Structure 1
Amino acid sequence: MTAPLLSLTWTDDITGRQGFVVIDRLVRGVCSGGLRMRPGCTLEEVTGLARGMSMKEALHYDPDGRYVPLGGAKGGIDCDPRDPAAYGLLVRYLKAARPYVEGFWTTGEDLGLSQDLVDRAAAEAGLVSSIQAVYPLLDDEAAARRRLADAFAVEVDGIGLDELVGGCGVAESALTALDRAGVPYADTRVAVQGFGTMGGATARFLARAGLTVVAVADLKGTVVNPAGLDVEALLAARDAHGTVDRGALRPGDRELPGDAWLSTEAEVLVPAAVSYAIDTTNQRRVTARWIVEAANMPVLPEAEALLAARGVTVLPDVVVNSGTNAWWWWTLFGDIGPEADGAFAHTRRSMRALTELMLTRAEADGTTPRAAAHAIAADRHPVIAARFGQYR
């Protein structure tokens, strides 16, 4: 693998905690990738995520679209987001990273951080916006910013559109795999690890498609019901960190340990929380036919090889959870408007086409879906570089 274009480690002078910025590549002088905060975050982790962002951007390249793919990047802070000192740390990190955000790194919410929190901290750090580096690439900056702001103001059944589009994309990837295998939705059970932005939205869309969500795991443990959980009731009972109030559980719902989602009797597993959730040891507990990576890097490579040998298909994060990032740029560049119906329709159409392309390539090459996705991205990177260049 090639080294990233830029790799930085920052040490906070007050707490001694570290933060990281990794720029994998630039397109027209700009790159894209969220900022996460979690205890134990490492430079190696952020480097892998930045490389993944380069692939996600390339995978959504449409020569006829207004959205021009950017380069890939990522930020990370080693801190528990629930720590009382976390917000001050976030502001100081953004002050230190301000030249990069102003010049070429567009960022936003990721694991442990909400977009509202990132926006508030960015303003306190003296930034115009966490995505201001992309503004010079827009045809009409004022109209584009207004369009994105309008989209962020949209709510659908009590949940913001910005929280839902990613889960819509994850769900569409899963449904595409089921359709190719001829598996009826009504006969398909789902277990979800993580019930925050991505996990909660994915559960909603899969349940509404007719699948049965039988397990949901959060910080308190795993809630299971073989007959199906009431997803909407659980969504309404979440706190800001995706933890479900157990007072909302129905008589048939049971509480099990936090890792019980892994071995739940389900056809589809959706890891939607932390990286490295499935390793070479616990992969033996998986009985599902598909693992749909809503989180970034939840399945270790060695575990994925063992799962593939057992006939378990992993739908990779670089495709599955790429809808959120793409939605930002589809909206900002003007491929879609701020309305929910248009956003969902475009997301479904794009994610289904991309998942189909990946699975068809995997079948033709005799490889895994991840290897196929990486091959497609590798084919597109030189095309994008030749058309747009690395620097402005």
Structure 2
Amino acid sequence: MTTAPFVSLTWTDPLTGQRGHLVVDRLVRGVCSGGLRMRPGCTLDEVTGLARGMTMKEALHYDPESRYVPLGGAKGGIDCDPRDPEAYGVLVRYLRAVRPYVEHFWATGEDLGLTQDLVDRAAREAGLVSTIQAVYPLLDDEKTARERLADAFRIEVDGIGLDELVGGCGVAESVLTALDRAGTPYAGTRVAVQGLGTMGGATARFLSRAGLTIVAVADIKGTVTNPAGLDIEALLAARDAHGTVDRSVLRPDDHETPGDAWLAADVDVLVPAAVSYAIDTANQRHITARLIAEAANMPVLPEAEELLAARGVTVLPDVMVNSGTNAWWWWTLFGDIGPAAEEALTHVRRSMRTLVELTLARAETDGTTPRAAAHTVAADRLALIEQRFGRHR
């Protein structure tokens, strides 16, 4: 899992000088999968770590009885503020530059800073048929499969697209599974969520509807708190495209606090669902939560996680917790599930609960952290995939 990546490259935009990166950690059946993010400060090292994580996310969902066979892991990243007026042009030029990779072996989609609609629009302008066209040769019936996925993307549930909901459903189910194993009732369990975008927003909805109390939500403007619980549905309805909440919808007993207040909130569960590297060795000491669910990619630095573990804080790792979105794409495209909200969410819940149960049991048996256990499970399944399909072909 620590070998050199199959492909690693950096591109420089000729008009703005902004830099973009693409890392392919490995291929399975000649194809890899991983989203494209855009954020200021995005580095090649960051993208390399994310690509390696995608290899593990894919492997964790391997089921030899499924039509979907996990792909290799990859990631793209652009060092640019998505709110910059030049950002869309940079995105289009990046996709033009990496077009041969997308056409032949890199299936990609939205990630931090980008929506799927925006990525799809830019991809068309860059001359691509689809951002996942590299997978099409693996399908038994491409036309039917593409129609099935398109139908799934058109589904909305209470104002939020199914493609947004599945990821948050997976995060929420991970939290609920951990609480069930610990014998912790949902009622009275307090939660803070950093980020109310695609992943954080859906996670907040599912946890709130499960009976947990969301007492703090952070976005780029700061943290909104209410010890009695926030009205999550009202906040979700008042978000802009970047997950920023219109403060005019806040109730009199909702409070605006500094941006980092979510970290030290008096809660049982912490859900970092925004940027990478949010929790470091300095600020981890302010965390009072006993459970952290990594909805974002790489939000907890390894050194910080060691300190948290020493304090008895459990970190549910990103490679497991936020893997539901990626798996849902492929379950739908390959035909393991149909384009229906109830079927999709039921499948995500069942799959994530099974995976989290397995990982936490492995951690308990081995006397390791959930992250180490998840890596072990992924390595075991990756070995089975390689036995069946080989590597880098």
TM range (shorter): over 0.9
Give the structure 2 partner of residue 132 of structure 1.
133
Give the structure 2 partner of residue 302 of structure 1.
303
* Partner-residue secondary structure (3-state), 1:217: strand
Give the structure 1 partner of residue 196 of structure 2.
195
Give the deviation of 1:389 after TM superposition: 2.2
Within 5 A, what are the aligned runs for 1:226-265? 226-265=227-266
Give the deviation of 1:260 after TM superposition: 0.1
Give the deviation of 1:242 after TM superposition: 0.3
The separation in 2 between residues aligned to 1:13 and 1:153, in whole angstroms, is: 36
The separation in 1 between residues aligned to 2:12 and 2:323, in whole angstroms, is: 30
Q: Deviations over 1:22-58 (max 9, x none)?
A: 0000000000000000000000000000000000000
Give the structure 2 partner of residue 67 of structure 1.
68
The separation in 2 between residues aligned to 1:33 and 1:71, in whole angstroms, is: 9
Give the structure 2 partner of residue 212 of structure 1.
213
Within 5 A, what are the aligned runs for 1:40-189? 40-189=41-190
* Partner-residue secondary structure (3-state), 1:162: helix
* Partner-residue secondary structure (3-state), 1:29: coil
- Does the 8 Å CA contact 2:175/2:293 hold for their aligned counterparts? yes
* Partner-residue secondary structure (3-state), 1:330: helix
Counterpart of 2:168, as a letter, is G
Counterpart of 2:112, as a letter, is L
* Partner-residue secondary structure (3-state), 2:307: helix
Q: Deviations over 1:129-157 (max 9, x none)?
A: 00000000000000000000000000000
The separation in 2 between residues aligned to 1:391 and 1:182, in whole angstroms, is: 44
Within 5 A, what are the aligned runs for 1:331-370? 331-370=332-371
The separation in 2 between residues aligned to 1:299 and 1:2, in whole angstroms, is: 23
Give the structure 2 partner of residue 371 of structure 1.
372
Give the deviation of 1:383 after TM superposition: 1.1
Q: Deviations over 1:335-378 (max 9, x none)?
A: 00000000000000000000000000000000000000001111
The separation in 2 between residues aligned to 1:318 and 1:390, in whole angstroms, is: 21
The separation in 2 between residues aligned to 1:316 and 1:40, in whole angstroms, is: 23
Counterpart of 1:246, as a letter, is R
The separation in 2 between residues aligned to 1:29 and 1:389, in whole angstroms, is: 10
The separation in 2 between residues aligned to 1:381 and 1:162, in whole angstroms, is: 26
Give the structure 2 partner of residue 18 of structure 1.
19
Counterpart of 1:24, as a letter, is D
Give the structure 2 partner of residue 386 of structure 1.
387
The separation in 1 between residues aligned to 2:9 and 2:33, in whole angstroms, is: 16
Q: Deviations over 1:303-330 (max 9, x none)?
A: 0000000000000000000000000000
Q: Deviations over 1:106-141 (max 9, x none)?
A: 000000000000000000000000000000000000
Percentage identity across aligned positions?
81
The separation in 2 between residues aligned to 1:381 and 1:23, in whole angstroms, is: 16
Counterpart of 1:210, as a letter, is G
The number of equivalent residue pairs is 392
Counterpart of 1:30, as a letter, is V
The separation in 2 between residues aligned to 1:350 and 1:389, in whole angstroms, is: 25
The separation in 2 between residues aligned to 1:146 and 1:125, in whole angstroms, is: 22
Could you list the runs of 5+ residues in structure 2 that have no partner in the other structure? none
* Partner-residue secondary structure (3-state), 1:191: strand
The separation in 2 between residues aligned to 1:300 and 1:76, in whole angstroms, is: 19
Q: Deviations over 1:152-180 (max 9, x none)?
A: 00000000000000000000000000000
Could you list the runs of 5+ residues in structure 1 that have no partner in the other structure? none
Q: TM-score, normalised by structure 2?
A: 0.99
The separation in 2 between residues aligned to 1:210 and 1:13, in whole angstroms, is: 51
Give the deviation of 1:192 after TM superposition: 0.2
The separation in 2 between residues aligned to 1:381 and 1:322, in whole angstroms, is: 15
Counterpart of 1:31, as a letter, is C
* Partner-residue secondary structure (3-state), 1:67: coil
* Partner-residue secondary structure (3-state), 2:97: helix
Give the deviation of 1:391 after TM superposition: 4.7
Give the deviation of 1:381 after TM superposition: 1.2
Counterpart of 2:34, as a letter, is G
Counterpart of 2:57, as a letter, is K
Counterpart of 1:60, as a letter, is H
Give the deviation of 1:187 after TM superposition: 1.8
Alignment RMSD: 0.5
- Does the 8 Å CA contact 2:26/2:392 hold for their aligned counterparts? no
Counterpart of 2:231, as a letter, is D
Which range is displaced more, 374-383 or 332-341?
374-383
Give the deviation of 1:200 after TM superposition: 0.3
Structure 1 stretches (4+) deviating beyond 3 angstroms?
Answer: none
Q: Does 1:327 align with 2:328?
A: yes
The separation in 1 between residues aligned to 2:392 and 2:152, in whole angstroms, is: 30
Give the deviation of 1:390 after TM superposition: 2.7
Give the structure 2 partner of residue 270 of structure 1.
271
Counterpart of 2:108, as a letter, is T
